Amino acid sequence: MKTQTNGCKFSIYVSYQSKLGQWVIRSKNLEHNHASNPDPFQYHQHRDKKPGYAQAIMTASSHRGLISYKESASILRTDNLEIGRKEFYNLQRKEGKGTLTRQDELQLILQVLDQEGIHVRFRDEYTLNPEGERIGRVIKDLFWMSPEQIKMARRFVSGFMYETDATFNTNCLKLPLSIMVGIDNCGKTFPIAYCYITSESAASFKFVTE
């Protein structure tokens, strides 16, 4: 095994000598050009060697698709276990279940935004069959803004004005991204909120404005 970064020349060689029936360690260069890290588990390459990691993965796998990462992390902490958010949401792919469905993708987006303290709203519409009966709901617009953006909007936009425009083809779903901006007391523009919309319709703009 060989690992090297930051141009460090530190080098050791570890091998198992079958004739001796034991492991042998040989050194080539024992000097670092940087301070060594006392906790090797801080490096992501070694996370899977951390005590309890396998148990954490097994437990989190049973949570996937049922509860959010925040709830799963809370349960893991009771046993002094933990995994990262990215690892949690990648469990589905690691288990060979393929890519996320559209519903899973939306659930993931909403969970991540909520865990980061982002305020999320969405506008949906019912889908109808040929007989006019409701058979489902489709999210048409997804709106979000942070607590800091709310403070700025209340101070500089409420009772004054904001400007909005949409960009196109910035994501794989080809959804227009509507961006709202205001002007602060220094004459600088700042983003108020964002909204993925399915079309630049009156209904979408009314939803964003409200």
- 191-209, pLDDT tens digit by residue? 999 998 888 788 888 888 8
Q: Quick count: other Cβ atoms within 10 Å of Cβ 153?
A: 19
User: Are 123 and 200 in a shared domain?
Assistant: yes
Task: Tell me how far the alpha carbon of residue 124 is from its chain's centroid.
Answer: 24
**Is residue 44 included in any domain, yes or no?**
no
Q: Is the pLDDT of residue 1 over 50?
A: no
Distance (Å, whole) CA 13 – CA 1: 8
- 23-69, pLDDT tens digit by residue? 888 877 777 777 777 676 666 666 667 778 778 888 887 777 667 77
Check if the beta carbon of residue 140 is closer than 8 Å to that of residue 197.
yes
- 131-143, pLDDT tens digit by residue? 888 888 888 888 9
Check if the beta carbon of residue 150 is closer than 8 Å to that of residue 121.
no
Check if the beta carbon of residue 88 is closer than 8 Å to that of residue 64.
yes
**What residue numbers bound the domain in which 15 lies?**
1-33
Choosing from 89, 116, 143, the residue where a domain stops is: 116
Q: How many domains does the chain have?
A: 3
- 175-187, pLDDT tens digit by residue? 888 899 999 999 9
**Looking at residue 185, what DSSP letter applies?**
T
SS3 state at 42: helix
pTM here is: 0.50
User: Are 141 and 170 in a shared domain?
Assistant: yes
Q: Is the pLDDT of residue 121 over 80?
A: yes
Across the chain, where does the E strand assignment appear? 11-17, 22-29, 119-128, 134-145, 163-167, 177-183, 189-197
SS3 state at 19: coil
pLDDT top residue among 146 and 27:
146
User: Are 96 and 143 in a shared domain?
Assistant: no
User: Are 108 and 129 in a shared domain?
Assistant: no
User: Are 126 and 82 in a shared domain?
Assistant: no
DSSP output for 52-86: THHHHHHHHHHHTTTS-HHHHHHHHHTTT----HH
Distance (Å, whole) CA 32 – CA 6: 10
The stretch 114-118 carries a mean pLDDT of 79
pLDDT given for residue 146 in this prediction: 92
**Looking at residue 46, what DSSP letter applies?**
G
Q: What is the dihedral of CA 175, 171, 119, 117, to 10 degrees?
A: 170
User: Are 122 and 100 in a shared domain?
Assistant: no
User: Are 130 and 172 in a shared domain?
Assistant: yes
